[in-house]
């Protein structure tokens, strides 16, 4: 029987394997629309968190895309950020991130064991990564531990939906048929892009995600789904 640790390690290894082509595949497969979702996440957070921002921690940061948008949108909003820290268990992904963003700090760590003091972060974000954390509830408790009182957790994720209809059938066809072929062609690793739709199907609906955050000590302040509910943004404040 596969343990949680073995399952998690396999996921990390998969991301190590596709790190070199990840950014290209991501932009092609999302047709660039994820950029708008990421910007929206940053902007909505800045509207709500009016205190000085000393530390933003991007968990499952991958190659650093979300860190870049935190910095870019902060500049547009006239907000100063003391430090943006990227945390990810994949050496391959963070190596790419360090080349893209030498101005940011990256550390290798699991979402369930962040190398941070209690109540040290203003914002913890995780974009398209919580789905890949096997011990998700442990991660949410860890986010609550490192956040200051009144700090925010910001989650962008591909959530499961049970809706029916023509457009939702098209979405399912893209995710299950077209995406693995395109992703496999770009990355030369079809298995990794077969994992994506399977992981979405095995994940939570948006209301289920909100319920888990509530149980971990967060108050939901904003939730919105995009593009036929393929992606959901949830912003929650630590109680």
Check pLDDT > 80 for residue 63.
yes
pLDDT band at 64 (very low <50, low <70, confident <90, very high): very high
Pairing of strands 53-59, 81-88: parallel
What six digits make up the tokens of 140? 């949410």
Q: How far apart are CA 170 and CA 210, in angstroms?
A: 26
Beta strands in the chain (DSSP E): 53-59, 81-88, 105-108, 121-127, 147-157, 218-226, 231-238
Check pLDDT > 70 for residue 13.
yes
Instruction: Collect all residues with Cβ–Cβ distance below 8 Å to 111 and sequence separation of at least 6.
Output: 59, 60, 87, 89, 126, 129, 130, 133, 139, 142, 143
Q: How far apart are CA 16 and CA 2, in angstroms?
A: 20
**Residue 165 has what pLDDT?**
66
pLDDT band at 196 (very low <50, low <70, confident <90, very high): confident
Q: Where are the domains of the chain?
A: 4-161+206-238
Pairing of strands 121-127, 53-59: parallel
Beta strands in 18-61 (DSSP E): 53-59
**Residue 149 has what pLDDT?**
96
Check pLDDT > 90 for residue 191.
no
- DSSP-based three-state secondary structure for 103: coil
pLDDT (mean) for 167-183: 74
First to last CA, the chain: 38
| Percent helix, strand and coil across the chain, each to the nearest 5 | 50, 25, 25
Does 63 belong to an annotated binding site? Answer: yes
Check pLDDT > 90 for residue 7.
no
Q: How far apart are CA 126 and CA 88, in angstroms?
A: 10
Residues in the chain: 239
pLDDT in tens, 75-102: 999 999 999 999 999 999 999 999 999 9
Share of the chain above pLDDT 70, in %: 95
47 contacts 77 by C-beta, under 8 angstroms: no
Q: How far apart are CA 75 and CA 69, in angstroms?
A: 10
Nearest to 133 by CA among 184, 190, 90, 101: 90
Check pLDDT > 70 for residue 219.
yes
What six digits make up the tokens of 73? 């949108």
pLDDT (mean) for 35-58: 97
Check pLDDT > 90 for residue 183.
no
pLDDT in tens, 112-165: 999 999 999 999 999 999 999 999 999 999 999 999 999 999 999 988 776 666
pTM of the model: 0.88
The yes/no answer on whether domain 4-161+206-238 falls in CATH 3.90.79.10 is: no
Range of lowest pLDDT (10-14, 43-47, 89-93, 187-191)? 187-191
pLDDT band at 70 (very low <50, low <70, confident <90, very high): very high
Nearest to 151 by CA among 103, 106, 116, 112: 116
**Residue 166 has what pLDDT?**
62
- DSSP-based three-state secondary structure for 55: strand
Does 88 belong to an annotated binding site? Answer: yes
């Amino acid at each position: 029987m596969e343990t949680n640790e073995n399952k998690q390690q396999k996921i990390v290894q998969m991301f190590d394997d596709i790190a070199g082509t990840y950014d290209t595949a991501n932009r092609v497969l999302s047709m660039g629309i994820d950029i708008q979702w990421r910007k929206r996440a940053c902007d909505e957070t800045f509207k709500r968190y009016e205190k000085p921002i000393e530390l933003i921690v991007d968990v499952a940061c991958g190659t650093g895309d979300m860190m870049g948008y935190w910095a870019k949108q902060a500049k547009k909003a006239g907000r100063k950020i003391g430090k943006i820290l990227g945390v990810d268990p994949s050496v391959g992904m963070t190596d790419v991130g360090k080349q893209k963003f030498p101005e940011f700090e990256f550390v290798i760590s699991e979402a369930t064991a962040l190398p941070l003091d209690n109540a040290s972060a203003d914002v913890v974000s995780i974009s398209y990564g919580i789905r890949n954390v096997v011990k998700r509830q442990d991660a949410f408790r860890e986010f609550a531990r490192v956040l200051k009182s009144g700090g925010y957790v910001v989650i962008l994720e591909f959530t499961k939906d049970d809706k029916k209809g023509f457009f939702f059938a098209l979405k399912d066809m893209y995710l299950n048929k077209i995406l693995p072929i395109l992703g496999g062609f770009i990355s030369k690793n079809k298995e990794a892009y077969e994992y994506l739709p399977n992981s979405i199907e095995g994940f939570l609906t948006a209301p289920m995600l909100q319920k888990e955050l509530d149980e971990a000590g967060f108050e939901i302040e904003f939730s919105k789904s995009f593009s036929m509910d393929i992606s959901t943004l949830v912003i929650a404040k630590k109680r």
